[in-house]
Copies of this chain bind each other. A is one copy, B any other.
Amino acid sequence: MKIGAYGEVMLRLTPPEYRLLEQTHSLRMDYTGTGVNILGNLAHFGLDTWLLTNVPDNRLGDAAIVNLRKFGLKTDFVGKYHNHIGSYFAEVGFGSRPTYVTYQNRHNSSFGISTVTNYLIKEFLETVDLIHICGISLSLTDATWETACALAQQAKQLGKKVCFDFNFRPSLNTEAGKKALMKARYEAILPYCDLVFGTSRDLLELLEIPKEANEDNVRYIQRFLAHYEVEWFAGTQRTTMSEKPYISGRIITKNAHYETEPKLLTVLDRIGAGDAYAAGILLGYAEKWSLEKTAEFATTNAVVAHTLSGDVPLTTRAQIQQIMDYPGLDLIR
């Protein structure tokens, strides 16, 4: 299965060795973004992947493309337009000190101002079998919303699969009317979607789908799946036991569901771990694995992504399989 994604390429700038911005003159530079992360991981799993995006038409855009190629992404649909790339600074946390992410101007980025006419949407859709769209596109700018919507619609028409990630952050949508607008946009795109990443909170708080009395979460989500004719609904859950963090993953279909045991997390860099879970799910979906096999693989992949620095999960199938088969193995020669 050939996988495409529509998403922003961002610069991530990170002080070394857990330092704060005011403690460093040196930054690590990486290229990232939800689409980049998922496709980069899938390329490491051996799939062919294409990103649909625009980067600046200058030396930063050139450098971005160099780095996308490095991840194994195909860059045929990475255009060059305008002159700004969104960026964020990550002051990596330690112990009780959280990681601080400071965003720099994403609205005016080459991606943020690019709309339907700036992309080869038809050619892109003809190339791939499944596309991934991130909910961020619905709230970033009108241009990205229009592009996301057009993509979903046309993909559906062409018989391509659409995978959509809610990724809704209430705290970023507190302006008057913003949440209502978002609700409308999410409702507009969902009918075209086949896989959805999200939580029951998204359904309850954003879509405001009322929960029935005594309805458990699985049943509640299955009602949503039936309504929008979505095949898979996937997500992860974090818990804390004895002051240590754990993660579990689950997949729900209209009439089945599977949830993994909680797995212990050791965290080097948690950004990008959600995308690792998504990549694992897409791999299982693409290769028609069982829910169990898919959820176990995707969750282990997310666990390992927490141990990698940088956002793009550079795991391979063999590596994840080995970690699942030999837990505790700490040296491979």
Contact = CB atoms under 8 A, between A and B. Distances in A.
Interface string A61-86: 01100110110100000000001110
A289 interface: no
Q: How many copies of this chain does one complex carry?
A: 6
B16 A25 contact: no
Nearest to A172: B333
A218 interface: no
Contacts of A98: 322-323, 329-332
Given A26-B26, A103-B83, A94 B18 contact: no
Given A66-B22, A330-B270, A323 B97 contact: yes
A314 B25 contact: no
A308 B97 contact: yes
A219 to B, nearest CB: 29
Interface of A: 13, 16-30, 58-60, 62-63, 66-67, 69-70, 72, 83-85, 87, 89, 91, 93-105, 108, 169, 240, 243, 245, 264-268, 270-271, 303-304, 306-310, 314, 322-323, 327-333
Given A93-B307, A94-B266, A22 B330 contact: no
7 contacts: A17-B17, A58-B102, A70-B70, A98-B329, A100-B332, A101-B333, A105-B108
Given A70-B70, A268-B95, A328-B240, A24 B29 contact: yes
Contact of A25 (B23, B243, B267, B268): B23
Contacts of A84: 104-105
Contact of A60 (B95, B104, B323): B104
A18 B18 CA distance: 13
A131 B260 CA distance: 53
A93 B24 contact: no
Given A66-B70, A96-B323, A314 B23 contact: yes
A11 to B, nearest CB: 9
A304 B21 contact: no
B102 A59 contact: yes
A83 B102 CA distance: 9
Given A70-B22, A108-B105, A264-B243, A93 B330 contact: yes
Contacts of A103: 83, 333
A33 to B, nearest CB: 14
A299 to B, nearest CB: 11
Contacts of A169: 333
A63 B308 contact: no
